[in-house]
Amino acid sequence: MQNMEVERVFIGAGCNRVVNNVSWGASGLVSFGAQNAVAIFCPKTAQILTTLAGHKASVNCTLWLPNSKFAFKAKQLEQHLLLSGDAEGVIILWEYSLVDAKWRYVLQVPQVHKKGVTCITAIMVSQQEAVFASASSDGTVNVCEVVFPSTRGGDCKLSCSDSLFVGQKPMVALSLAELPGNSKQLVLAMGGLDNKIHLYCGERNGKFLRACELKAHTDWIRSLDLSLPVYVNGESSLLLVSSSQDKGIRIWKMTLQDSSASNKKQQTSLASYIKGPVLVAGSSSYQISMESLLIGHEDWVYSVEWQPPSTSSVEGIECFQPQSILSASMDKTMLIWQPEKTTGIWMNVVTVGELSHCALGFYGGHWSPNADFILAHGYGGSFHLWKNVGIEYDDWKPQKVPSGHFAAVSDIAWARCGEYMMSVSHDQTTRVFAPWLNNTSVQNEESWHEIARPQVHGHDINCVTVIKGKGNHRFVGGADEKVARVFESPLSFLKTLSHVTSDNSSFSADIQADVQILGANMSALGLSQKPIYVQASTPIDRSNTEGFDTLETVPEAVPVVLTEPPIEEQLAWHTLWPESHKLYGHGNELFSLCCDHDGKLVASSCKAQSAPVAEIWLWQVGSWKSVGRLRSHSLTVTQMEFSHDNKYLLAVSRDRHFSVFQINHKGTDEIDYQLVAKQEAHKRIIWSCSWNPFGHEFATGSRDKTVKIWAVGTETSVKLLLTLPPFKSSVTALSWLSLDNHSNHGLLAVGMENGLIELWNLDSRGGDGHLSVQNASPAVKFDPFLCHVSTVQRLSWRNPQKSEDSETVQLASCGADHCVRIFRVNVT
């Protein structure tokens, strides 16, 4: 068992809700912050490849060196670098090797900001050198120079050359460029809360001096981007594009003044501009003027970006700057702007957007290195990708992207046959992830995607349980409210599922025949999701409705059968499940749920500080009547689980006790229950518990960093079998897998507060078969690159559990780092 291998199958995560959080690298990969981790995704496969752990606070900005803007200088590079800045002011440098796709933590930038990093910008001054600047809420801007390692794993030289204090109003947008005709001089543009653009000049490793400021915007500056030098009619200039919360975009031109021709009269033309300040850098001076004002967005413009230059020579040194700008705004649209050929007036030539009622706008937009893709990230942690599929004219089509929660993921549950996994989160959504068989690939690989979003709620969701047994797919969810809600799968989901699993069994066909509900609609001001029936699925004509996008008139959902992984707009709106029942009874917010293995009973608990409130309620599946109230604990019951034969219900609580209840079904409607054991098991809160899938042994894990294995005896007494050696962090999640039910050999997955996961071998030795003495030995510690970066909230082995001939099992986990993860464990 010591050569057990663990590999990553899937990561689902949303993007932090911050501007400047996303960067598209010359490597073709996209980086973004997901809570305290830096996540990397591949746009080609729509899969998150890895997460980088190192930050202790939420990641605000990421930046590739080189990014898509400098892809033309990256042809020979084997190592790419990545910068990430967090909410505590720490900036970390990472190295990515293109040869073997391996990541390495290089260093933490020594000059730490006192407050959160708001923006990072960089310029490649040569194939091996870059200069980057970082801005922070503490009112400082730091400039550093970094030299790429000459060999793989070699040293990265980093030197901080300057630190500028910009005053009480911090900068939130930065851009760097080399000045035309004077490549030793760099210009640093910065903008922020004082509505002005400040220009600083300096040499690569020297001090930067304030040169001038540009006043025109009437609200905060949100984004700046300097182009590469532009040569027109023998005059060299630099273009700066700026966007602001005043909804406008401005283009500024910096023209190198020819000292001999300075007294010549300027020609007047349609593109004549208002004279602005003169920027002096060393011996050169540059006339700044406003070239254009672009009005088209109806809300704050969060990002503007010049189209990456295309290389015109073989060496890739000479290149030209395309006259094309991508802007992203909170009005849910991204626009591409280009000057008209005849007049030179800048026009909006492409508009792409998210028309869903749920999206609240875009926080940033980015070009791919070849400018054939554009990517936006939105308020709901979501990505939106478009590809230009047009040949003679532009035609942008939406593409699939990775998705996931944008807040802590509180619970996960596998479908009864393991076809999909369901997760719930404090982002107030329930999501379904499933493996989608990729027919285009050679190996017929399956890749995981989010295929439905059954619940979009108004409260943080804390717990979920999938109903086992026969019949349609159902689940119960519990949020920060006093009612648990029961949901039933609509016909559109069942048909999609048969596509996904390529399982056209009669079992699913029978269910489909009975289901009369096609999908569900969001209610305008309530929290319940209303069913859309198969007969009444004709859409309502709303052509005369005024104010379509108001709260009172929520657009109708159009449930469809998905034949490929859905994009965000479909997920957020058209994949809801109807709510069939509400379970009233608890006095506080729901905290945990579980279902028995026959699908007859659901147990629920809520947040509690007294014994009457801490009761566990039992609900009968189907009639949804309350059939029992189990009183034992005095504080919140944190997790519950039924034993494999449904004879016992185990509950663990904040009061440091566990309870075992015996459950007997007396008739169809009646249930007899009694408390058979209650014991103070740990010195601190017990966070988790898990039964042996084939026995009456169970494990408990606690904040006191210990895991204990217990057994329920024949006289319904509970005996401690063993205590595992103390862990380095609080134990927050446990899941027991049986590898061989004859020899009672199992694997216990242990998740901790520091995000790490370990597997332990559990073996029975002797005894009478029931009350056996367990031997425990560590099987494998997961590589930190595979693990979560914050608390592991829940672990769950995929069921059905390992078949005799299978050599691998799958383990799902969710955490406070917004991630849902699936691992493949080779148990041979």
Contact of 618 with 627, CB cutoff 8 Å = yes
**What is the predicted pLDDT for the residue at 755?**
93
Which amino acid type is present at position 212?
C
Position 810 in a domain? yes
Give CA angle at 448 (442, 452), nearest 5°: 130
Position 490 in a domain? no
> pLDDT category, 356, cuts 50, 70, 90?
low
Position 495 in a domain? no
The most confident of the ranges 157-161, 482-486, 761-765 is: 482-486
Tokens representing 315? 């060496």
pTM tops 0.85: yes
Contact of 38 with 16, CB cutoff 8 Å = no
Backbone angles phi and psi of 648, in degrees to 5: -125, 150
Position 267 in a domain? no
Q: What is the mean pLDDT of residues 289-310?
A: 91
**What is the predicted pLDDT for the residue at 801?**
54
174 closest CA partner among 238, 220, 209, 221: 221
Query: Is pLDDT of 314 > 50?
Result: no
Alpha-carbon distances, residue 69 vs 143, 174, 383 (angstroms): 19, 15, 20
Of the candidates 399, 415, 434, which is a domain's last residue? 399
Q: What is the mean pLDDT of residues 200-217?
A: 87
3-state SS track over 269-292: CCCCCEEEEEEEECCEEEEEEEEE
Measured between alpha carbons, how far is 828 from 468 in angstroms, rounded to an integer?
Answer: 29
Position 343 in a domain? yes
Alpha-carbon distances, residue 667 vs 223, 598, 784 (angstroms): 68, 15, 50
DSSP state letter for 300: -
Measured between alpha carbons, how far is 353 from 169 in angstroms, rounded to an integer?
Answer: 32
Of the candidates 399, 418, 449, which is a domain's last residue? 399
Q: Which residue has the tokens 């543009």?
A: 189
Question: Collapsing DSSP states into helix, strand and coil, what is residue 72?
Answer: helix
| Digit-coded pLDDT (tens) for 578-592 | 999 999 999 999 999
3-state SS track over 458-516: CCCEEEEEECCCCCCCEEEEEECCCCEEEEECCHHHHHHHHHHHCCCCHHHHHHHHHCC
CB-based contacts of 619, cutoff 8 Å, min separation 6: 484, 583, 601, 602, 603, 604, 625, 626, 627
Alpha-carbon distances, residue 187 vs 132, 466, 523, 661 (angstroms): 12, 58, 53, 72
Contact of 30 with 46, CB cutoff 8 Å = no
Average pLDDT of the chain to the nearest whole number? 85
Tokens representing 558? 């159009």
Q: Which residues constitute the domain of residue 210?
A: 69-258+275-399
CB-based contacts of 560, cutoff 8 Å, min separation 6: 492, 570, 574
Query: Is pLDDT of 268 > 60?
Result: no
* Interhelix angle 491-501/506-514, nearest 10 degrees: 170
CB-based contacts of 554, cutoff 8 Å, min separation 6: 357, 521, 522, 523, 524
Of the candidates 366, 399, 432, which is a domain's last residue? 399
**What is the predicted pLDDT for the residue at 525?**
67
Contact of 200 with 249, CB cutoff 8 Å = no
Position 139 in a domain? yes
Measured between alpha carbons, how far is 157 from 149 in angstroms, rounded to an integer?
Answer: 8
CATH of the domain at 794: 2.130.10.10
Position 634 in a domain? no
Tokens representing 738? 């049986």
> pLDDT category, 320, cuts 50, 70, 90?
confident
Cβ neighbourhood burial of 179 (10 Å; 0-12, 13-18, 19+): buried
Which amino acid type is present at position 823?
F
**What is the predicted pLDDT for the residue at 635?**
94
Tokens representing 591? 């905290």
Alpha-carbon distances, residue 630 vs 373, 633, 784 (angstroms): 57, 9, 40
Measured between alpha carbons, how far is 256 from 184 in angstroms, rounded to an integer?
Answer: 15
Instruction: Tell me what percent of the residues of the chain surpass a pLDDT of 70.
Output: 88
Alpha-carbon distances, residue 428 vs 222, 410, 480, 749, 828 (angstroms): 29, 10, 10, 27, 40
Length of the chain: 828
Question: Collapsing DSSP states into helix, strand and coil, what is residue 226?
Answer: strand
How many other CB atoms are there within 10 angstroms of residue 55's CB atom?
23
276 closest CA partner among 237, 334, 309, 244: 237
| Digit-coded pLDDT (tens) for 2-61 | 568 899 999 999 999 999 999 999 999 999 999 999 999 999 989 999 999 999 999 999
Instruction: Tell me what percent of the residues of the chain surpass a pLDDT of 90.
Output: 53
Measured between alpha carbons, how far is 634 from 613 in angstroms, rounded to an integer?
Answer: 8
Position 215 in a domain? yes
**Least reliable range by pLDDT among 215-224, 238-247, 264-273, 710-719:** 264-273
Measured between alpha carbons, how far is 406 from 428 in angstroms, rounded to an integer?
Answer: 10
Measured between alpha carbons, how far is 93 from 38 in angstroms, rounded to an integer?
Answer: 11
**Least reliable range by pLDDT among 196-210, 477-491, 799-813:** 799-813
Question: Collapsing DSSP states into helix, strand and coil, what is residue 393?
Answer: coil
Calculate Rg over the CA atoms of the chain. Answer: 30
CB-based contacts of 388, cutoff 8 Å, min separation 6: 371, 372, 373, 394, 395, 396
Tokens representing 106? 């290089």
**What is the predicted pLDDT for the residue at 741?**
65
| Digit-coded pLDDT (tens) for 477-511 | 999 999 999 999 998 888 888 877 765 543 466 56
Longest dimension (CA), the chain: 105
Number of domains in the chain: 2
